[in-house]
């Protein structure tokens, strides 16, 4: 079963208040055709962002097209919400869509 969330709902999901939790979110970043590699490079510069690079059947990296899959691993939900807003401002980004959200207890050191 899949549930589609509107953009406003995504921000509501991310705006929950948890102080001792660490959210990890999976997102699809939709970009203007032809801007995939440029956006990917900018996303790669965000330390809390992991960019998943597609590969062909031989394991060779392929060009990014319209959709880029990322995960954001932050200490707080507010930090994740801020990163989503930053990503939306990257030139060539059409949308940032939440696909998966997991919240884990913070590891005490």
Q: Is the dihedral of CA 6, 10, 11, 12 positive or negative?
A: positive
Domain map (residue ranges) of the chain: 7-104
- Domain 7-104: give its CATH code: 3.30.70.920
* Tens digits of residue pLDDT in 15-27: 555 455 789 999 9
Please give the chain's pLDDT, 109 residues, in tens: 344 455 555 555 555 554 557 899 999 999 999 998 899 999 999 999 999 887 788 888 777 678 999 999 998 888 999 999 999 999 999 999 999 999 876 555 5
Are 30 and 67 a contacting pair, CB within 8 Å?
yes
Instruction: Determine the Cα–Cα distance for residues 88 and 70; give it in Å rounded to an integer.
Output: 13
pLDDT on residue 1? 38
pTM of the model as a whole: 0.74
């Amino acid at each position: 079963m899949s549930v589609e969330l509107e953009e406003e709902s995504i921000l509501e999901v991310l705006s929950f208040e948890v102080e001792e939790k660490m959210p990890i979110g999976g997102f699809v970043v939709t970009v203007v055709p032809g801007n995939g590699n440029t956006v990917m490079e900018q996303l790669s510069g965000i330390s809390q962002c992991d960019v998943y690079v597609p590969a062909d059947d031989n394991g060779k990296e392929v060009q990014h097209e319209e959709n880029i899959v990322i995960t954001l691993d932050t200490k707080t939900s507010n930090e994740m919400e801020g990163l989503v807003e930053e990503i939306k401002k990257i030139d060539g980004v059409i949308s940032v869509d939440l696909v998966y959200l997991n919240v884990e207890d913070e590891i005490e050191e």
